[in-house]
Amino acid sequence: MLAILWLSFSSAAARALKLTIQPWEIRAADRLEKVFAALNKQRQDGLYVPQGPLMNANQERIVGFALKSRLPSMYALKDYVDAGGLISYGADLAESYRRVAYFVDRILKGAKPADLPVERPMKFELIVNLKTASRSA
């Protein structure tokens, strides 16, 4: 079973991948310890942590829990891997910021925001912390 610190995970995607998902809704930092204790009791196979203000503000606690519990974990931001997390996969933020600058430039030169196209990220990064991976083996 894969634990997800997020309620809105797509159950259709999980079924297609034949994964059993256990979502954990966390609305305040004081709930993290209760969720960590429950995750330890349930012996999850992995953990996915999406980005968001609450998760990002508690990055060290979350990574520390995953390391202490030897729980394979994947994160949406590479900052978690820099902090000792195992894997991250997400949009290349530097590339996203370059695209933002491009649109700001267009607007400052007179383009109407409503006339500009909506874009999705086109470049993604998979980051693996080899030091953490070797400790997990």
Q: Domains in the chain and their CATH numbers?
A: 2-90+125-136 (3.40.50.2300)
> What is the reported pTM?
0.76
Contact assessment for residue 44 and residue 25, using Cβ atoms and an 8 Å cutoff: no
pLDDT tens by residue, 94-131: 999 999 999 999 999 999 999 999 999 999 999 999 99
Residue holding tokens 């349930």?
42
At residue 128, the pLDDT reads: 97
Burial-class residue 92 by CB neighbours within 10 Å (0-12, 13-18, 19+): middle
At residue 7, the pLDDT reads: 47
Average pLDDT per block of 10 residues along the chain, 137 residues long: 55 77 81 86 85 90 91 92 95 94 97 95 95 82
User: Nearest 5 degrees, angle CA 106-CA 53-CA 51?
Assistant: 80
Strand partners, 23: 4
At residue 9, the pLDDT reads: 54
Residue 74 to residue 104: CA distance in whole angstroms? 32
At residue 2, the pLDDT reads: 55
